[in-house]
Structure 1
Amino acid sequence: MISAHDEETHLRELIPQLLQQDHPTFEIIVVDDRSNDGTFDLLLEETKKDHRLRMVHVNRTPPHVNSKKYALTLGIKAAHYEWIVVTDADCRPTSSQWLSLMASEFATDKSFVLGYSPYQKKPGFLNLFVRFESLLTAIQYLSFAWLGNPYMGVGRNLAYRRSMFLESKGFNSSLAVTGGDDDLLVNHLATKKNTAVVINANAQVLTFPKETWKAFFNQKIRHLSVGKHYRLGHRFLLGLFTLTWILTWFAGLPLAIFSEHRYIVMGVLIVRLLLEGWAFHSSARKLGQRFEAWAILPLDFLYAFYYLVTGLVALFTKKVRWKN
């Protein structure tokens, strides 16, 4: 399932890869969400070539309703099968086994399957930071799910039951919220018993990262603003994690320089960085990736300032925008 707004270029690459998935029975539903480019004409032509590809067209979105949630809801209602696997037009499956590996967790007692979607590696410090932030987020939400407390998923690689979505009225509680079609759905409905996780390297989808700091900043404001609607317990735990990270540099660093116990504080900071480096290295290996260990220190330092700024902006931003 894909919601697409002006995604003709991406869909020309993605659709053939989806049709090549090694799974016996599936359909691909692309919701053309009021596109202004050639998306509609492309889908109209491609649906004639393969019956597994279907299009749902959206002419208009009702007032005060998030367009992507509305588009996905129409697509889910039109689906023929029980399990919905969602991704984005700017994603690419890492293998033809992606769908089969996700489907391997479609057990009778499960309603959600959380996947992983890393960002494509490119030159430059921005890309390094984007991948760092994405890996950190993955470590958090996958670990929480493994510990029996799922709080989010990513809509680039996520599966859930159609019947559960319809019975719980889907996005009804967050229709006016920009974003959250993935993490809020998981946050409100996922439990220890009904959630599975897939991290196999062949079950991932690569995503094209933002290429400017402004675009990345705007994207993260949208993502973080959704966090205000998480369950209270999840907000507390995530807030506590972020607070300790920020205090490491804003309080720990001055203490390491000026305190009479500077050597003890410095030792604690060093141990923390070593543990963080180990966590990133081991997590990346389990996810079938490699991450630049040398960059942990500067990225750790930058992340504290980045999260302080974006977190405050997201907290006080009343209106965020999706593209167009």
Structure 2
Amino acid sequence: MPTLLDFLLVLFFVTIGIQIVYQLIFIIGLSRKDNTTEPQLLPISVIVCAHDEEQNLKVLIPALLEQDHSLFEVIIVNDRSNDATFDMLLAEAARDHRLRMVHVNRTPPHVDPKKYALTLGIKAARYEWLLLTDADCVPTSKSWISTMSAAFNDQTNFVLGYSPYQKLPGMLNKLIRFEALLTAIQYLSFALLKMPYMGVGRNLAYRRSKFLEGKGFNNILKITGGDDDLYVNQNATSKDTAVCLAAGAQMTSVPKLTWGEYNRQKLRHLSVGKRYKAKHKIILGTFHVTWILSWIVGILLLALQHRWEWVAGLLVLRLIGWMFTYSQACQRLSGKFEMWLVPLLDFIYAFYYLVAGLRALATKRIQWKN
């Protein structure tokens, strides 16, 4: 008669098997050709929402105005800033006609501030194609706009880009970059396999007409977060979504510097995931549950010394698979990561995700910024 240990062993085999299947899916997806062709001579509106981002904007604005694209505008939405953002933008806009400011004095009650600010920026845009990023980002090249535009065509409504985090000292930074690359592996590979389910607002493009005709964020206006991933999840399809992975089309972002800031950001992201389409929740849920279970059940079986040779061997095989997947992703995305750290970060992130996920399920009030 099967014992509890036999059941746990079977469960362990199943979770490892599912994890390896996901690794193969990611590798196959990332091997697909993206939608980058030749840069399009299309006018583009770059939109950035900023709340107390004066210092970051002093870096971002010059980098945007130095872009080599032939026709574009930069719209900075000053969202109730308490610093000198307004005066700085006023002076910068007077120097360059391509820079425009949209000022937000107040946000209507029960409306997410970020989505309200972004909506005002989109309505103020002159051009059809919108290219979004955040105030704490910097383009990796002067051809960011033109390279992203190389994925635009008549059938496309969305273009998903990649946005890595800056490399800084410390374990927190390594975990943040590990998670960012993992997230990119998932949403970019699935999009390349014709199943887009999210994008990141640090590097995302879509049509103004698509946004306005679909009433923008109307269905998610009260939800904190989701102006990027949830909007893509609800509106993007396999036929109208393109991917741009070129090195020159990336946006580098400043990572959180404290665990508290990172926890709040993670909580916001996970709380939005609850509203994804059912099929996407099943796919992503299965991935994360089997990830966590492979460690929990594996450690338990090792502690009980039940078929420990098989258990240890499969855990090592799974980790080798992830190291190879991360290596392939770095090659495709023209990035670097400390591969020797992947096993340790894989272990830490599994349990961090478990705790953060349970918090996200229990938390009802999430904030973007005050």
Shared fold (TM-score greater than 0.5)? yes
Q: Equivalent residue of 1:277, what SS? A: helix
Distance of 2:100 and 2:342 partners within structure 1: 44
> Among residues 168, 173, 178, which one is paired with 2:214 in the alignment?
168
Instruction: Give the counterpart of 1:236 among 282, 291, 294.
Output: 282
Q: 1:255 aligns with which of 301, 308, 316?
A: 301
- Residue 89 (structure 1) aligns with: 135
1: distance between equivalents of 2:339 and 2:113?
A: 40
What SS does the corresponding residue of 1:87 show, helix, strand or coil?
Answer: strand
Report runs of 4+ in structure 1 exceeding 4 Å deviation. Answer: none
- List alignment gaps of at least 5 residues for structure 1: none
Partner of 1:3: 49
CA distance in 2, matches of 1:134, 1:185: 19
Could you tell me how far apart the structure 2 residues matched to 1:68 and 1:297 are? 36
Partner of 1:298: 344
Q: Take 1:214 and 1:79, find their aligned partners in 2: how far apart are those partners?
A: 35
Q: 1:123 aligns with which of 155, 169, 178?
A: 169
Once the two structures are TM-superposed, the CA of residue 256 in structure 1 deviates from its matched residue by: 3.4
Residue of 212, 220, 234 corresponding to 2:266: 220
1:28 paired residue number: 74
Deviations 1:37-94 (A, max 9, x none): 1111111111111111111111111100001100110110111100000000100000
Q: 1:290 Cα shift?
A: 1.1
Partner of 1:308: 354
Q: Which amino acid aligns with 2:143?
A: Q
| TM-score normalised by length of structure 2 | 0.86
Q: Does residue 74 in structure 1 map to residue 120 in structure 2? A: yes
What's the C-alpha RMSD, in Å, of the aligned pairs? 0.9
Match of 1:141 among 181, 187, 190: 187
Q: Distance in 2 between matches of 1:98 and 1:265?
A: 46
Please name the residue that 1:209 is paired with.
255
1:267 alignment partner in structure 2: 313
Residue 157 (structure 2) pairs with residue 107 (structure 1)? no
Residue by residue over 1:212-271, the C-alpha shift from the partner in whole angstroms, topping out at 9 and shown as x without a partner, is 111111110011100011101111111110000100111022223425422122221111
Cα shift readout 1:22-45 (whole Å, capped 9, x = no counterpart): 101100001111111111111111
Structure with more relative contact order (C-alpha pairs < 8 Å, separation 6 or more): 2
Shift of 1:7: 0.9
* Gap runs ≥5 in structure 2: 1-46
Aligned to 2:363: 317
**Distance (whole Å) between structure 2 residues aligned to residue 36 and residue 291 of structure 1:** 37
For residue 206 of structure 1, what is the amino acid of its counterpart? T
**Identical residues among aligned pairs (%):** 60
C-alpha distance in structure 1 between counterparts of 2:345 and 2:306, whole Å: 28
Query: Which amino acid in structure 1 is aligned with residue 160 of structure 2?
Result: L
Partner AA of 1:304 in structure 2: A
Q: TM-score, normalised by structure 1?
A: 0.98
**Max Rg structure:** 2
1:46 counterpart = 2:97: no
Tell me, in whole angstroms, the C-alpha distance in 1 between the residues paired with 2:115 and 2:92. 24
Offset at residue 106 of structure 1 (A): 1.0
Q: Distance in 2 between matches of 1:105 and 1:161?
A: 13
Give the number of equivalent residue pairs.
324
User: How far apart are the structure 2 equivalents of 1:124 and 1:59?
Assistant: 38
